[in-house]
Amino acid sequence: MEHILDLDRYPLDQPGSPEWQAMVTAAKAGLGRDGLFNLVGLMRPEAVEATLDHVRPRMATESFNHSRWHNIYFKDEVDGLAPDDPALTKVETANHTLCHDQMQGTALDQLYNWAPFMEFLAVVMDQPQLFVMDDPLSGLNVLEYRDGEALNWHFDRSIFTTTLLLQAPKGGGVFEYAQNLRSDDDPNHSGIADLLQGRMTPTQMPQDAGTLNVFLGRNTAHRVSRIKGDRSRIVAVLAHYDRPGARFSPSEQMGFFGRTA
């Protein structure tokens, strides 16, 4: 993996070493303080470019154009809210998606299946073990956001989300979040309305290509702002689960990927 990842800076291949433990400690501190951590420049530039050489032509001819209007909850009805409540304001998400079966053999595929990478994530997330998905479409996806497209406000279903940025746009495409906007005990609908109506300023997180980000998004609202210009935002999403055998249902596959496995 040394030709793909900067293992001198991030010794993922040395579990238990003092350097590895320091990396774990820093990651946990970031999660506790900011709800996220970054491994800046984890993927080497040459590996990023090789991956983009694989991705770009497939995005142009094979990708699924996913577009939908939704509210922040992805639900038509929410208990305690009237249909016209500003917390239910609808926004548009649009992107282009490649599935795991279209990324076989790439550097991203190797990283996703690499046991030391899963071990590191498991220790940081206080999980006994993490597993790849048993799904030929899910698990590893690459998303492209083109001019005018965006990933709009939402909460994640999973406890944590792992992404690796492959290409940053020239304009827009900024990752923004409102940390702990809600909690398990307080849905904070009024705060969500403030965010959606522009009365709250979210935190912005600039990113460079090659950076791995791990983010706690279940109660932190987040989005990627609308892309501006002819250089798209391309990002990989790597999903690991705390149990083996996880997979999307056929209806979920059709909704996210336009096809079933």
In a domain, 4, yes or no: no
- Cα separation, 236 vs 173, in Å, equals 14
In a domain, 13, yes or no: no
What was the pLDDT predicted at 163?
Answer: 98
What was the pLDDT predicted at 97?
Answer: 97
Q: Which domain holds residue 207?
A: 18-257
pLDDT along the chain (261 residues), means of 10: 97 98 98 97 98 98 95 92 96 96 98 98 97 96 98 93 97 96 96 96 96 97 96 98 94 93 89
Count CB-CB contacts under 10 A for residue 162: 20
What was the pLDDT predicted at 46?
Answer: 98
In a domain, 2, yes or no: no
In a domain, 198, yes or no: yes
Q: At what angle do helices 115-124 and 18-34 cross, to 10 degrees?
A: 50
In a domain, 28, yes or no: yes
90 is written with which tokens? 């609808």
Number of domains in the chain: 1
Query: Which CATH number do you get for residue 156?
Result: 2.60.120.620
What was the pLDDT predicted at 76?
Answer: 87
Please, which residues have CB within 8 angstroms of residue 200's CB and are 6 or more apart in sequence? 178, 191, 194
Q: Which among 206, 217, 213 is positioned nearest to 172, based on CA atoms?
A: 206
In a domain, 42, yes or no: yes
In a domain, 90, yes or no: yes
In a domain, 7, yes or no: no
Q: What is the DSSP letter of 54?
A: H
